[in-house]
Amino acid sequence: MHPQLTILLGSLHLVLAQDGPTINTPMSVVQCLPTQLTFGGGVPPYTLSALPAGQPGATPLAELGSQSGTSFTWVTNLPGGTATTLQIRDSKGVINYTQAITVQASSDSKCLNGGGGGAGAGTGGTPSPNPSGPPNSTGSGTPGGSTSTTPANPPPKGGNTPGGAQPNATTPATTPNTTSAAAGSTNTTNGPFPLRPPLHHPLLHHPGHHHPEQRC
């Protein structure tokens, strides 16, 4: 091989090796719609990012991941109106950029972080206030919380039953000297006073007893 040709080929190889990656500026970028990106040069794989427009050292707005080919379809996960610049970095760390582009708005927002979500769980309604009036006392064992009632007038004293009727002087033979549990009394007499034995009066006549004769 001619020495001059060898030098020329070596110089060409050096120039190609020093050529960094490139990425084409897309014609249109629309919110949440696919955008076709093409790139090449440098040494793959490539790392793609979307930066704020005109701010090369800023934190990326979106990371597009590592790509080993020469094209990539990006679902534009940036809101409409965002100005961005796409960055490409090859495996050697060489960086290149696209021109500034502005994302166009669309009605589709499902791809945005924190956007397009469904409605949250409903909040509980305000509890209804209790109806006016005094609270009802809950009856024991009654359905629907009905109230238990008591007789308007208490039974009179002396062993009368709750209904006001006089109890019988005698009770069934099986339960002598007792009354039913409903009466709540152990008196066996009619009326409010128990029977008492007759009193011995000195003027009453008793057999075997002689009254002294009255003297004039």
Residue 136 lies in a domain: no
State the pLDDT at residue 19. Answer: 85
Q: Kindly state whether residue 165 falls inside one of the protein's structural domains.
A: no
Closest CA to 78 of 120, 38, 106: 106
> Is 89 a domain residue?
yes
How many domains, the chain? 1
Whether residue 76 lies inside any domain: the answer is yes
Query: What per-residue confidence (pLDDT) applies to 4?
Result: 56
- Is residue 145 in some structural domain? no
Query: If you compute the radius of gyration of the chain from its CA atoms, what whole number of angstroms results?
Result: 56
Q: What is the pLDDT of residue 10?
A: 53
Q: What is the CATH number of the domain that holds 50?
A: 2.60.40.10
Weakly modelled stretches of the chain, pLDDT under 70: 1-18, 113-216
pTM for the whole structure: 0.47
Cβ-Cβ contacts under 8 Å for 102 (sequence gap 6 or more): 29, 53, 81, 82, 83, 84
Distance, CA of 209 to CA of 202 (rounded, Å): 11
Rounded Cα distance between 168 and 176, Å, is 12
Q: Indicate whether 74 belongs to any domain.
A: yes
In a domain, 66, yes or no: yes
**Residue 102: in which H helix or E strand, if any?**
strand 101-102
> Is 57 inside any structural domain?
yes
Q: Which domain, by its residues, includes 62? A: 20-102
